Amino acid sequence: MKVALFGTQFYEREYFTKFNVDNKHELVFFNESLNATTSHLTKGFRAVCVFGTDKMDKSCIQKLAKLGVQLIDLRSAGYDNVDLKSANTNNIKVLRVPAYSPQAVAEHAVALIMTLNRKTHKAYNQVRENNFSLEHLMGFNLCNKTVGVVGTGKIGRAFCAIMLGFECKIIAFDVKENEDLKQKGVQYKTFTDLLSQSDIISIHCPLTPKTTHLFDKKAFGKIKKGAMIINTSRGGIINTKEAIEALKNQQIGYLGIDVYENEGSLFFKDQSQTVIQDDVFERLLSFNNVLITPHQAFYTQEAVTEIAKISIQNFTDFEENRELKNEIK
């Protein structure tokens, strides 16, 4: 089957080529992101493979359908960038990679916590300049701290397991409670109670209409003053402008994010020689208690391997009319 892969990075080409055994599928890699404007590039392809930065809205999907595309395969677990209703109307199947490595994202969330807390990034830079002072490097013990986990799917559960190892008290909020976590001592709370009781809040829920800007001025007003907020899920869950106000008045004590609500025009590119036009993002960078990583939480050898292998399997299942176990309906 001929598949167009959009917005591909250097590492993806290597892994997808490796696991496309016997060149079963004709894979064509595009640097461009897929959207209504670039949809013409899909002419002659039966399937497209996209990432979270590709915009699969109604306009784009209608154009794909007219060009003969029958499958949209996501190289991610999240699918908030796809108009599922439009895909269904146009008889286009939508598949995804539901779980490539929950541990990869969970471990990165912990890395953000540890870095912000113990200021290892600042210590590294100081020592390289022969500055061995401990001034401004004090952190706090994680042991016995209350950690709030918003979303206890596979990634949230992996994160809970790690933080239980630090002997933290774990409280969680989810529309569906996990009995296994409860047996391990995790307590489910209301969202309001989680905000007010947590020293650290880690976000692991999907982006939906209900969770868009879940963390806004109202939510920030309910958190413990000086609490740490970590987001390795989706940028749109946090209202960035209102987070900046909460940082300015020191309501948020630390902010660690691997995702940003307007990251599409920034992340996955070398912008070092570019004047960034996003003033909100630039304001975030100005805070010394904010740590931003470029959507790299998933980026481990194990995760990229699984993404490639499952995506290739999705192509094969579709082409051979097998059960589409990773279909989004």
Per residue in 101-122, pLDDT tens?
999 999 999 999 999 999 999 9
End-to-end CA distance of the chain: 23
Q: How many domains would you assign to the chain?
A: 2
Do residues 17 and 92 both lie within one domain? yes
Which helix H or strand E contains 233, and what residues bound it?
Answer: none
Of 202, 40, 178, 49, the closest CA to residue 117 belongs to 202
- Residue 52 domain flag: yes
For residue 126 the two structure tokens come to 């100081």
The tokens describing 232, both together, are 């390795």
Name the stretches of the chain with pLDDT < 70. none
Same domain membership, residue 309 and residue 258: no
What are the backbone dihedrals phi and psi of residue 137, each rounded to the nearest 5 degrees, phi first?
A: -110, 5
Burial-class residue 276 by CB neighbours within 10 Å (0-12, 13-18, 19+). Answer: exposed
Whether residues 225 and 141 fall in one domain? yes
Check: CB of residue 282 under 8 Å from CB of residue 89.
Answer: no
Q: Contact 296/256 with Cβ under 8 angstroms?
A: no
139 and 37, same structural domain? no
Q: Report helix, strand or coil for 60.
A: helix
87 located within any domain: yes
Do 288 and 187 have their domain in common? yes
Mean pLDDT of the chain: 96
DSSP 8-state assignment for residue 324: -
Residue 325, in any domain of the structure: no
Tracing tokens 């696991």 back to the chain, one arrives at 19
Two tokens, residue 70:
């029958």
Does residue 59 sit in the same domain as residue 173? no
DSSP, collapsed to helix, strand or coil, labels residue 93 as: strand
Q: Verify that 241 and 119 share a domain, yes or no.
A: yes
Range of the domain at 162: 102-292
Residues 28 and 43 in one domain: yes
Confirm whether 326 is domain-assigned.
no
Residue 328 lies in a domain: no
C-alpha distances (whole Å) from 109 to each of 140, 192, 319 are 17, 22, 37
Alpha carbon 71 to chain centroid, angstroms: 23
Sign of CA dihedral 12, 14, 17, 18: negative
- Closest alpha carbon to 44 in 105, 2, 99, 81: 2
Together in a domain, 182 and 239? yes
In this structure, the answer to whether residues 154 and 285 fall within a common structural domain is yes
**CATH number of domain containing 94:** 3.40.50.720
284 found inside a domain: yes
Give dist(CA 324, CA 156) in Å, integer: 26
- CA atoms of 51 and 241, how far apart (whole Å): 26
pLDDT number for residue 99: 82
Q: Is residue 14 part of a domain?
A: yes
Q: What is the pLDDT of residues 223-277, one digit of tens each?
A: 999 999 999 999 999 999 999 999 999 999 999 999 999 998 888 888 889 999 9
Spatial distance between the Cα atoms of 214 and 217, rounded to a whole number of angstroms: 9
Residue 180 counted as domain residue: yes
Predicted pLDDT of residue 61: 97
pLDDT value of position 52: 82
Segment (H or E) for 242: helix 240-248
pLDDT of residue 270: 86
Q: List the 93-95 sheet strands across, edge first.
A: 26-29, 2-5, 47-50, 71-74, 93-95
Q: For the chain, how big is the Rg over CA atoms in Å? A: 21
**What is the reported pLDDT for 78?**
85
The catalytic residues are 234, 263, 295
Which helix (H) or strand (E) segment holds residue 158: the answer is: helix 154-165
162 and 283 in a single domain? The answer is: yes
- Report how far residue 183's alpha carbon sits from residue 197's, in angstroms, rounded to the nearest whole number: 21
Note whether 160 and 80 are same-domain residues.
no
C-alpha 145/C-alpha 5 separation (Å) is: 44
